[in-house]
Amino acid sequence: MRLNLGPSHPATHGTLRVFVELDGEIIRNMKLEIGYLHRCFEKMSETHTWNQVIPYTDRLNYVSAMMNNVGYVMAVEKLLGIEVPKRTQRIRVIMCELSRIIDHLVAIGTNAVDVGALTCFWYFFRERENIYDLFEAVCGARLTTSFTRVGGLYKDLPEGWTQWCRKVLANLPRSLDDVEGLLTTNRIWIDRTRGVAPISKQDALDYGFTGPCLRACGVGYDVRKAHPYYDYDKFDWSLITEEEGDTYARYLVRLGEMRESMKIVEQALDDLPDGPVNVDDWSIALPPKDQVYGSIEGLMAHFKLIMHGIKPPAGEVYSYTEAANGELGFFVVSDGTGRPFRVRVRPPCFAIYQAFPQMCQGQTISDAIAALGSLNIVAGELDR
Amino acid sequence: MKRSKYRLPLSQRIYLIAILKGMGITARHFFTNLLRPGRMPNVGYPEKRRNYSPRFRGLQILTVKPNGEIRCTACMLCATACPADCIHITAAEHPNPEVEKFPKEFNIDMLRCVFCGMCEEACPVDAIRMGTRYELANFERNQFIYTKDDLMRAGNYTQSRVTRP
Ligand code: SF4
Ligand code: SF4
């Protein structure tokens, strides 16, 4: 029998079309069709200034928008050859790790829903709401954050935010423990996930896997460890790896990574220096508002920057960060004008999704649903 | 298809223990919610509303001077900075020569706006701010074009703009 899964099916978490050839319940063959959520991100970037691209990056992996913001501005900053202040780096690390937690919460929560365990979803979404409240207090939006700017941030942290963040973090283990208690040793969950859609170490590497899905196969590769940025090497945290490469291993890796991310956030909060968040260069970051309102130099720099945009030197740069799903790379090309000549995104999902048919061969259709949830394919990032 | 290459410990092979453990966790939540309903994360919208922070990026506000005139000088910076191209300004000469320029029309197309806050960031005279109003549903497309008067009033909104067809 031939069956269409999607494009709009609740289990696809987005718009993916999977065309499966079934023999009874067993999947014999599978064909993927992507592009339903294609929004021309890369082409759109070319008609906007460097800073105007940031709201578009929110919509790549919309589950963890902060990480796309950071990944993109890091690439532009590399092109400009500037380093942002320590405080900004720390704040970006905090935001990234909080986003990673959210992303993993959603990945595990929805994966559990797909196999019929709704409760975990509620326990996780309570924590997710709390973290979204934190985001909203910082940048004014919950989902589409647009928090970073080239050379700095949209705004500094508000008063009392760090204590609030600690409080939210202190509540998080409670939900993690609850869900761990509900799932990790639960025979039903184990039956539905163990040995489901496994991928071998070699295949995962060949397909270009990164992130939790790769670490679930026993490869200890993480951009934060292998090519540290923003002082990730100075924090005390460990890599979580599992050997089996199946859905259950991916679940365990994600669960463990949330606890590691919490550790990183706590250390970054402890070690948060004072100072400005923007670089002191008015051709890159906007002048402070009192300078704009009160001095002619500030006003001129402000006008110039908004009208003409940042002008990085001509050249090209590839910059990559560890997003929740794996290596998120931005390849940016500048021709010296105020707009990008080309922006290319390397979405982690794309490589992972390619392997989906192979992983599901010979498994049942219900296993494919469980596997799809555990790969955490985010269509916004896949199709761009 | 081979599945169970893992050998589970006995406690896990018996469904009952895991089920009872899980029931324990859900029961704990059930009773804490029952005894302390105030701590449940639900918000009873629309009777109750979530409190957003002052930084919340909602419907834009056009600020006014103490004499009630619009503060905007029609410099077009917000329209330039807007990534969604949704601000449409028509500038005109102000009758008062001291003021020089002002926007005759100032429309924001809320169907295009992504609430990124770049207009607020770009304004050199603090004439546009992101307000905290977020319920912007309406019945017809043209009602989403917010005019200068709507946005100047947005600072002290009380009544809903929604008009039933
Ligand atoms: S919030 Fe963003 S999209 Fe909306 S009007 Fe302002 S700049 Fe344009
Ligand atoms: S940037 Fe401010 S002053 Fe200039 S047109 Fe926009 S609202 Fe008016």
B3 inside domain: no
Which residue matches tokens 């400005």?
Answer: A276
Which tens digit of pLDDT belongs to each residue from A194-203? 878 888 888 8
User: For A124-136, b where at least 16 C-beta lie within 10 A, e where not — what string?
Assistant: bbbbbbbbbbbbb
Closest CA to A154 of B47, B115, B16, B153: B115
* Strand pairing category for A340-346 and B101-109: unpaired
Domain formed by A49-382, architecture: Orthogonal Bundle (1.10)
B1 inside domain: no
Query: Could you identify the atom of ligand 1 that is nearest to the CA of residue B112?
Result: 3
- Whether residues B34 and B66 fall in one domain: no
**CB-based contact B21 A136, cutoff 8 Å:** no
Question: Across residues A128-145, what is the average pLDDT?
Answer: 88
Which tens digit of pLDDT belongs to each residue from A195-233? 788 888 888 888 888 888 888 888 888 888 888 888 888
Residue B163 pLDDT > 50, yes or no?
Answer: no
Query: Any idea where the domains of chain A sit in the sequence?
Result: 49-382
3-state class (DSSP) for residue B70:
strand
Question: Across residues A247-261, what is the average pLDDT?
Answer: 89
- Whether residues B79 and B140 fall in one domain: yes
DSSP for A266-301, please give it.
HHHHHT---S-SS-S-TTTSPPPHHHHHH-HHHHHH
Contact between residue A330 and residue A185 where contact means Cβ atoms under 8 Å apart: no
3-state class (DSSP) for residue A41:
helix
Mean pLDDT of chain A: 86
Q: What is the pLDDT of residue A44?
A: 87
CATH of the domain at B98: 3.30.70.3270
- Whether residues B64 and B143 fall in one domain: yes
ipTM, two decimals: 0.79
**CB-based contact A181 B21, cutoff 8 Å:** yes
- Whether residues B138 and B64 fall in one domain: yes
Distance CA A331, CA B100 (A): 46
Q: Which of A51, A186, A292 comes nearest B124 by C-beta?
A: A292
Q: What is the pLDDT of residue B12?
A: 66
Contact between residue A55 and residue B83 where contact means Cβ atoms under 8 Å apart: yes
Which tens digit of pLDDT belongs to each residue from A30-65? 888 888 888 888 888 888 888 889 999 888 888 888
Distance CA A252, CA A239 (A): 12
- Whether residues B35 and B70 fall in one domain: no
Range of the domain at B31: 9-42
Q: Which residue's CA is the closest to the ligand 1 atom numbered 6?
A: B119
Chain B nearest C-alpha distance from A90 (Å): 21
Q: How far is the CA of B118 from the centre of ligand 1 (A)?
A: 6
Confidence of residue A101 (pLDDT cuts 50, 70, 90): very high
Residue A343 backbone phi and psi in degrees, to 5:
-130, 125
Confidence of residue B156 (pLDDT cuts 50, 70, 90): low
Residue A159 backbone phi and psi in degrees, to 5:
-55, 135
3-state class (DSSP) for residue A170:
helix
Tokens of B7: 């050998």
Q: Is the CB of B75 under 6 A from ligand 2?
A: yes
- Whether residues B19 and B82 fall in one domain: no
Which tens digit of pLDDT belongs to each residue from A76-97? 988 888 888 888 989 999 999 9
B52 inside domain: no
B131 inside domain: yes
Q: Which of A48, A289, A293 comes nearest B83 by C-beta?
A: A48
Chain B nearest C-alpha distance from A40 (Å): 14
Tokens of A45: 């970037």
Contact between residue B161 and residue B143 where contact means Cβ atoms under 8 Å apart: yes
3-state class (DSSP) for residue B130:
strand
B151 inside domain: yes
Q: Which ligand is nearest to the CA of B128?
A: 2
Residue B158 pLDDT > 60, yes or no?
Answer: no
Q: How far is the CA of B60 from the centre of ligand 1 (A)?
A: 8
Closest CA to A361 of A5, A67, A20, A65: A20
Q: How far is the CA of A295 from the centre of ligand 2 (A)?
A: 18
CB of A185 within 8 Å of any CB in chain B? Answer: yes
User: For B52-82, b where at least 16 C-beta lie within 10 A, e where not — what string?
Assistant: bbebbbbbbbbbeeeeeebbbbbbebbbbbb
Tokens of B21: 């453990």
Number of domains within chain B? 2
Residue A106 pLDDT > 80, yes or no?
Answer: yes
Residue A123 backbone phi and psi in degrees, to 5:
-65, -40
